[in-house]
Structure 1
Amino acid sequence: MTTTASPPGTTRVCPPRTAPGAPARPVRPVVTELRLAAFASHWRRALPLGPLTLLTGPSGSGASTALGAYEALARLGAGDALEEVFPDPVSCVPERAVADAEGRRGFRIGCTVDGPAGPVRLDVAVQAEPSLRIVGERLTAGGQALLTTALRDPGRPTVQAAWHTAGQVPVTRAPLPDGRLATALLPLRVAGVTEGQLRVLAAAEQVVVGLHSAFPCDPLPRGMRGPVRAGEGRLRPGCDNLAAVLARTRTQCAQRHARLVATAAAGCAGPVTALTTRDLLDGTVEALVGRGAGRSTPIGRLGDGELRYLALALVLLTGPHVLEVNTPDEIPWAMRALTVLADGFDRGLDGRQSGELLRLAAGICSDGHLRMIGTVGEAGAALAGRTEGATVVDLSG
């Protein structure tokens, strides 16, 4: 299925499903739209997100930037400090943004998270100059603002927050820090006594859960070739500790490992009958590709495309326990959905490898436990357009 991004100035929000016979709301909160109102090269752009979404467009169209915006929202939702999320905030300000009389410029991003509470919108305005701070935030559900924040006193490191109460006092107001996402702080500030407070908590928690567990992934073949220190069982974003992760996963789930071997055989040159590891005397571990008849090849001898292909297949076939992501214990597994952010998903791959990975991703993403947003080139977009379950968003123009 092929879908294009919404025209500038429009917003795609999932409609309420209240009609008889309509499908139930998703059990796991998921991000269904990413909004880049004013962010780097993007201006008033809304990107629909499905279980498997591939962004494409010419160089400079901002596909990688969009992934960065999603990762930033995920980190803010996890409670990370603003300065850690945006170490170079000025680069996020659109060139056309004009400073006001006080020299202030910034950027705006947001998302919609669908789930048991219905579609919930989060919109965030960040000041990048002269100092980094969140100057406005809005949490909306059913057309009603459940939380708003605004900068009232530039001399204080706080914003004035107001959230829906629907009790004897219709709105609760309090200062909150301007360096953290207020939505992520609400579960610690809202009592949850009145019906309105419970609604605010449900919306905030849905957004936080929907944004949690994002894994930015861009395998770097140059770091994957040599032996690595044993015992590093969680895969890093660059996949440079692939051998250590294989040493762990090959003994934990025989079925998934068999699928990984089969996927490797479909996309790597020569026969692939096994993926094994061996411990070396210096305390490192090396990954090997079994070739049959007792022969094996060190993984370092594979081509760059083969290494990226193998690493991406491993990412898709594992999960939060194996990937280096933030997975808070207080969120039940039934409510979680891991989102893989794969920049350059088809980079260095041939058509056969891209097609195999796309089919694998579509099948895995269809069950709701994992979602993926990737960037692809023109050839990858064409393959994705023919892959059942994939959504292609063209950023051209």
Structure 2
Amino acid sequence: MLETALRDPGRRTVEASWYTGGPAAVTRAALPDDRLGTALLPLRVAGRTEGQRQVLAAAEQTVVALRSVYVCAPRPGRMRAPAPVDAGRLTRSCDNLAAVLWRTRAECGRRHALLVEAVRAGCAGPVADVRAEPAGEGRVRAVLDRGDGTRTGFERLGDGELRYIALALVLLTGPGVLEVDPAGEVPEALQTLTVLVDGLDLGLDPRQRAALLGLAARMCERGHIRLAGAVSDGGLLGEEPAARVVDLVP
């Protein structure tokens, strides 16, 4: 439907060609090299022929799909610090995880209970709750409630535990919690969120990896979320039957 090629590295444009299906099977034009060409097609394609209308429909579906992508790259070093209460939705680095917990714990008890269950499966020691508490100056800190009056602050957790908690929270939430631009033209009941994670298994031990894959399989089965991640060893995903591996090594 659409092809692009860099013909002259010295120019700030790429040559784009798309199918038209009319007297000229293909139309070519120069597009900026710093913009998503697919999103610019409606400004260039008139939609007079059936081929042009197919191109426009494909471009629309692609742009809607890209808008529904959340790139998650947890940064444990940042997650240990208190976060402003009004931090809004969860950022890609998950550095405001404490603020998001402060809000979501009261918004949906069922979802929070599932998060606690997931954290219990992936963190060492007993876990009765995952919560945020005031840390002064308009900030909150995230803690694990051990159930016996003892609380463990996130600043004392390992990198693997923090990454696991962040990814579990992402899988259990949606566009209203994550820093992503929802596709308003698609009914909410039909929207699907795609989560992209580079280094999905980074820092996770076998128990955490198995628990996270199991949670991902259960959430993806509902049809409202998809998870795509790069891992160091695709064979490790064999632990989860629902996982599909694409080997990019020739």
| Map of 2:238 onto structure 1 | 385
| Map of 1:199 onto structure 2 | 54
| Map of 2:247 onto structure 1 | 394
% identical equivalent positions: 50
CA distance in 1: counterparts of 2:16 and 2:51, whole angstroms: 21
Q: Which of the pair is proportionally richer in strand?
A: 1
CA distance in 1: counterparts of 2:137 and 2:77, whole angstroms: 21
Cα contact 1:247–1:277 (8 A) shared by 2: yes
1:141-290 mapped onto 2 (5 Å cutoff): 146=19, 163-164=20-21, 177-179=31-33, 180-190=35-45, 192=47, 195-290=50-145
| Map of 2:9 onto structure 1 | 129
Q: In the comparison of the two structures, how many residue pairs are matched?
A: 249
Cα contact 1:176–1:182 (8 A) shared by 2: no
1:251-330 mapped onto 2 (5 Å cutoff): 251-330=106-185
Q: Provide TM-score, normalisation by structure 1.
A: 0.57
Aligned-pair CA distance for 1:192: 4.9
SS in 2 for 1:374: strand
SS in 1 for 2:111: helix
Q: Which of the pair is proportionally richer in helix?
A: 2
Tell me, which stretches of 5 or more residues in structure 1 are unaligned?
1-120, 139-145, 147-162
Cα contact 1:286–1:298 (8 A) shared by 2: yes
Q: 1:346 to 1:329 in 2, by over 3 A?
A: same
Tell me, which stretches of 5 or more residues in structure 2 are unaligned?
none
| Map of 1:362 onto structure 2 | 217
Q: 1:329 to 1:284 in 2, by over 3 A?
A: same
Q: 1:267 to 1:178 in 2, by over 3 A?
A: same
| Map of 2:203 onto structure 1 | 348
Q: 1:217 to 1:229 in 2, by over 3 A?
A: same
Q: Could you report, residue by residue, the CA deviation over 1:333-360 in whole angstroms, capped at 9, with x for unpaired residues?
A: 3453222111111111100000111111
Q: 1:216 to 1:271 in 2, by over 3 A?
A: same
RMSD, aligned α-carbons? 2.5
Structure 1 segments of 4+ aligned residues over 4 angstroms from their partners? 169-176, 188-197
Which letter maps to 2:32? D
RCO higher in structure (CA 8 A, sep ≥6): 1
Q: 1:235 to 1:283 in 2, by over 3 A?
A: same
